Structure 1
């Protein structure tokens, strides 16, 4: 295959890529498609775009290598034929040894240094990888939480804070006018982002699909941080978490109450009902989750208050599911009506790949971004944050 044919192959791949990019714009502008349908098409088109980019790059590299081989052979007094032969006696196919192998390309990989790719590209590597899975999100997993998708820089969710109480009106008397007071829950998006870079030698020579690994790690890292901030974010360069002062109702137990007990849960349950809401979830830090599930009748001899250990009801209390998360502060339990909790999503997690970053070093950059806004609670009494005493 001549170099001209390689060039045509690269050009054809790039033309197909341009058509797909135009299709991306069409999908983005199509108002008939749901967000899920758009996301599915974006993912499919992105895969095809990446494949065509790889094909074009491979064709260009093959053309450049063949040109280099022809130059070397010409200086040696031979001419390489398009099919790999040579006019030098006995040299048929031997010119292929001039093409660099994967090991010869691996200039930036130090096999003895894990930080430089040693674990990814040793002499023999399994074609799978093992990873420490991060804890799944226990905030957005709860049914009923209001997720608002919005456009623009920020948005305001109107909130009725009070209204006058109607009274008895005598026959023929004027009906007094009622008043309603509104406020607004303002959602300003914050961006969570992660960036990785890797040499193309490591990406090409790794025995497993390292690109998928990097993308997956970035997405999980962002999800874990958002989950943590949803519970204990300060609102400064982060979300405002449920445990932040003023978001929910803080219930600080007095000295000596070092463990949250079911009596405290029942109090919180009743306070939420009094606010006209319906409790539907218990979030607990690991230490308090253990204590609640092991609390018994009559001290240590009776049955478990949360249910028998052989029953699935052990995961519930007062009919509410118990979600244990290491992202809650220690000694903390939250009882809430999730339908009163609001979070805004400006854009879903996006993973982008660029070969321009570190171009002079032959590096590929991977970037993940996620823009969310909130957290807001429309009535503070519907989120009861119980904090056990430190002593």
Structure 2
């Protein structure tokens, strides 16, 4: 029997990948910023080294000390009770081009945008309550600092704080309002030259003091993130689903797409992530 949406309304894995997973990786400001993504079918336990031994200088023929212990911890992601992101997108049959699977590009973009908006909000600022994602800004043990949009030195201080921990940050996340305020800073009250004026000879893209910056209004003004994104772990359910609802809206000559996907987030090295807040007035 030939596979069709009538006999098999749940799209196949490769169809879901091309419709949702791959476009979502590009559309999400967090997923596209270089975190470590782990595909998992169940609960994920990632070990991390808390402390290790301290090597020393030992003379020739002398006994090498073996009294040092290595301490491990772990982060647990994607517990069974973790909630899913779910949505139903309805569209009329007039918008169908060749088949239900051949969805119009506009609908595909809308589907990805709806999911990425919710996902990014959770990955950045999710409270972690009632089995939902705990976002980066709500994680414990992170480095903290200030962002003062009237003083660019506050950004250099944030970089220096991570450098002091031997961390090389590779991504800013900052709100549009804060970035606009920073871009307006000038060298002095008598100068028209901007401090963060882009260099046209450099590779395209937004950077702040040489570090790539993602401008997102999923962060509120007065909150920013500076991080080594290789230490941000994201668990992604290996079984996202997109189901075509052929009959539910038949009286309206409409078809529905039901989307279900699950993600989780944890930090492999919390101190490698700095959450910056505006100074208290």
TM-score category (smaller protein): 0.7 to 0.9
2:85 maps to 1:192: yes
Residue equivalent to 2:49 = 160
Structure-2 separation of matches of 1:293 and 1:379:
31
* 1:165-180 → structure 2 map (5 Å cutoff): 165-177=54-66, 178-180=68-70
2:261 maps to 1:370: yes
Q: Is the 8 A contact 1:252 1:389 kept in 2?
A: yes
Q: CA deviation at 1:159?
A: 0.3
Q: CA deviation at 1:299?
A: 3.6
Structure-2 separation of matches of 1:260 and 1:339:
30
Q: Is the 8 A contact 1:306 1:315 kept in 2?
A: no
Structure-2 separation of matches of 1:307 and 1:41:
42
* 1:207-222 → structure 2 map (5 Å cutoff): 212=104, 214=107, 216-222=109-115
Q: Is the 8 A contact 2:93 2:255 kept in 1?
A: no
Residue equivalent to 1:295 = 185
* Counterpart secondary structure, 2:128: coil
Q: CA 1:190 to 1:274, structure 2 compared with 1: closer, same or farther past 3 Å? A: farther
Residue equivalent to 2:22 = none
Structure-1 separation of matches of 2:96 and 2:268:
51
* 1:1-391 → structure 2 map (5 Å cutoff): 15-17=1-3, 39=14, 136-142=27-33, 144-151=34-41, 153-177=42-66, 178-188=68-78, 189-197=82-90, 203-205=92-94, 212=104, 214=107, 216-236=109-129, 237-246=131-140, 248-252=142-146, 257=148, 259=149, 261-299=151-189, 301=191, 303-308=193-198, 315-347=206-238, 349-357=240-248, 364-374=255-265, 376-389=266-279, 391=281
* Alignment deviations for residues 297-318 of structure 1 (CA, whole Å, 9 cap, x no partner): 1246152222358666783222
Q: CA deviation at 1:191?
A: 1.0
| Bigger Rg, which one | 1
* Alignment deviations for residues 357-389 of structure 1 (CA, whole Å, 9 cap, x no partner): 367887643201111121x12222211111113
With normalisation by structure 1, the TM-score equals: 0.58
Greater fraction of residues in strand: 2
Structure-1 separation of matches of 2:271 and 2:189:
31
Q: CA 1:16 to 1:239, structure 2 compared with 1: closer, same or farther past 3 Å? A: same
Q: CA RMSD in A?
A: 3.6
Structure-1 separation of matches of 2:18 and 2:138:
37
* Alignment deviations for residues 64-120 of structure 1 (CA, whole Å, 9 cap, x no partner): xxxxxxxxxxxxxxxxxxxxxxxxxxxxxxxxxxxxxxxxxxxxxxxxxxxxxxxxx
* Counterpart secondary structure, 2:264: strand
* Alignment deviations for residues 12-46 of structure 1 (CA, whole Å, 9 cap, x no partner): xxx3238x989x99xx8xxxxxxxxx6269869xx
* Counterpart secondary structure, 2:238: strand
Unmatched 5+ stretches in structure 1: 1-14, 29-37, 45-134
Q: Is the 8 A contact 1:252 1:387 kept in 2?
A: yes
With normalisation by structure 2, the TM-score equals: 0.78
Q: CA 1:275 to 1:182, structure 2 compared with 1: closer, same or farther past 3 Å? A: same
Structure-1 separation of matches of 2:212 and 2:70:
36
Unmatched 5+ stretches in structure 2: 20-25
* Counterpart secondary structure, 2:154: helix
